[in-house]
Structure 1
Amino acid sequence: MSSADKNLSAFSKKHLPDIDTKVFAIVVSEWNEAVTGAMYEGAYNTLRENGVTKENIIRKDVPGSFELSLAAQWMAKREDIDAVICIGCVIQGETKHFDFICSAVAHGITNVSLKYDKPVIFGVLTPNNQQQALDRAGGKHGNKGDEAAITAIKMLGF
């Protein structure tokens, strides 16, 4: 289901695990900062609203979405981190660069999750333009950061 048909900030709170002692790393791309900053706020607020203390949320910034995978790996290998949320935004451009970056980031984040047997969440927008990104970073389609945080929470209860 596309976000045009579902609000990214609307999710079921049924069967959420107790996460008050869990530690979350949120890795945020600085590229498209207006978008990723709003997504970070969504993820942070969702974690706080569901019982995570400020001290148990660690933010790390990286230059762009391509760097999310390595930073996620650095966070996931830490024994004190229970889940990693990756926040990024790659907007379609005029070249194939978009395709290569999106593919590399998706595969990289998946590989980190499997390697460390921890939730490593893909909170990366891949819109066609800036407006679509803003619509999904707290705009009319909700906030992908909210969705990424609730996904991390739910995966810890698996």
Structure 2
Amino acid sequence: MASNLKSLSDYSDKNITDMGKKKFAIVVSEWNEEVTESLYQGAYETLIANGVSKDNIIKKMVPGSFELSMGAQWMAQIEEIDAVICLGCVIQGETRHFDFICDAVAHGITNVSLKYNKPVIFGVLTPNTQKQALDRAGGKHGNKGDEAAITAVKMLGF
């Protein structure tokens, strides 16, 4: 469902189990920092609200969204990490760079999840404009960080 029809911050409590002992890594892109830091805050607060201890949330920064896959792999290979949340923002520009980056990141994150058999969540915004990104990073359409965090929680309750 499009985020203009449903808030990214709304979710049901189905498949949510005790997260008290679960450990999460959140890998955040430095590029578009205003957006990605808001995504991080949303993810962090959602994890805390669902019983995850502050000590069980590890934040790691990578230069851009392209590097999210490698950052996710480095975190996923740590046995104690139960799930990895990847947060980034790639804004459409005038060239095909957007298409190459988004495709590579989506495939990379999926491959890491399958390789390590643990949830590695795609929390990457792919808007046309900065305004659309901000609307989905805590603005009028909610926060994709919330959605990414609750997806990780639900996958661990699968």
C-alpha offsets along residues 49-78 of structure 1, whole Å, 9 cap, x if unaligned? 110011000000000000000000000010
4+ runs deviating over 3 angstroms? none
Task: Give the structure 1 partner of residue 23 of structure 2.
Answer: 23
**Partner SS state of residue 86, structure 2:** strand
Matches within 5 A, 1:6-155: 6-155=6-155
5+ long unaligned stretches in structure 1: none
Please tell me the root mean square deviation across aligned C-alpha atoms, in Å: 0.5
Deviation at residue 17 of structure 1 after TM alignment:
1.3
Corresponding letter in the other structure for 1:126? T
Deviation at residue 15 of structure 1 after TM alignment:
3.0
C-alpha offsets along residues 117-155 of structure 1, whole Å, 9 cap, x if unaligned? 000000000000000000000000000000000000000
Deviation at residue 18 of structure 1 after TM alignment:
1.0
**Partner SS state of residue 52, structure 1:** coil
Deviation at residue 14 of structure 1 after TM alignment:
2.6
**Partner SS state of residue 45, structure 1:** helix
Alignment: residue pair count: 158
Whole-angstrom CA distance in 1 between matches of 2:102 and 2:157: 28
**TM-score normalized with structure 2 length:** 0.99
Corresponding letter in the other structure for 1:133? A
**TM-score normalized with structure 1 length:** 0.99
Corresponding letter in the other structure for 2:60? K
5+ long unaligned stretches in structure 2: none
**Partner SS state of residue 95, structure 1:** coil
